[in-house]
Amino acid sequence: MSVGWAALAGVMSLKGPQACPAALVGSPALTMSAEHDTTTRTWRLWTVLAANLALVGALVVVGISAHSIGVFAEGADYLADAAAIGVSLLAIHLSTRPPAGDRPHSYLRAPHYAALVNAGWLLILSVLVAATATVRVLTGVHEVHGLPILIISGVAAVVMLVGALLLGGDIDDEDLNRRAVLLDTAADAAAAAGVAIAGAVILAAHGLFWLDPAIALLIAAVVGWHAARLLAEVLKALRR
């Protein structure tokens, strides 16, 4: 649920190629180890990104069929997380490149602008979801199908939990970028579990449909709050 922090960590922690003692620069063993670590990190991020995008498609389909704005909110959250992971991948890619000629570290601006777009996109999504959920509450909530909500959100929770375990397998305490993505993924698993519980309650009670827009409002509020903070931090970084 804490979407965008992966992008923010990627922006703030990207400082170009990692510094190392002069005696070790150019060491074949050091180079091979660094390349292996980067390849492994990138592969794991791509795996989680693919899982996010696949879930977005499934959540949109289920959201339409189940008349669930809560599932749509979950899909918006995952789509925003996919954008954040994309910024993280961009940060990793650019960190392996040398400074651009007479403009040292000029490539650092690219992740800043990508994170800026991500923050704006997050704000738009959160406002749209909140507005739709509010309209449903005010005009009366139509029937929501609890079973498909329970199934897709349960699957999403498991997939994101596996993703969190994958990312946390050999995480470095100093790697802010991967730690942020890990926290995002773990929070997604928790959010999906919450939506699944709401679906189970709706299914068991054969009612309480107001739970669907209520949880959508909760997700939109959290996403919007994090998006606003991300936007403020990125704008602050761009002014430096």
CA dist 151 to 102, 142, 165, 239, Å?
Answer: 55, 20, 21, 46
CB of 6 closer than 8 Å to CB of 180 = yes
User: So where are the chain's domains?
Assistant: 5-238
What mean pLDDT is predicted for residues 48-70? 90
Name the 3-class secondary structure at 23.
helix
149: pLDDT strictly greater than 90:
yes
- Of 51-65, 73-87, 139-153, 196-210, the poorest mean pLDDT is in 73-87
What mean pLDDT is predicted for residues 4-21? 46
Which residue would you say has higher pLDDT here, 147 or 185?
A: 147
37 closest CA partner among 94, 96, 100, 88: 96
pLDDT in tens, 136-145: 888 877 789 9
16: pLDDT strictly greater than 60:
no
Which residues lie below 8 Å from residue 48, measured CB to CB, with a gap of 6+?
Answer: 85, 163, 166, 167, 181, 185
108 closest CA partner among 98, 122, 120, 118: 98
pLDDT in tens, 107-137: 566 667 777 777 787 788 889 889 988 988 8
What are residue 100's phi and psi, to 5 degrees? -85, 85
18: pLDDT strictly greater than 90:
no
CB of 171 closer than 8 Å to CB of 178 = yes
Six token digits for residue 134: 């509010």
CB of 140 closer than 8 Å to CB of 182 = no
Proportion of the chain in helix, strand, coil states, percent, rounded to 5: 80, 0, 20
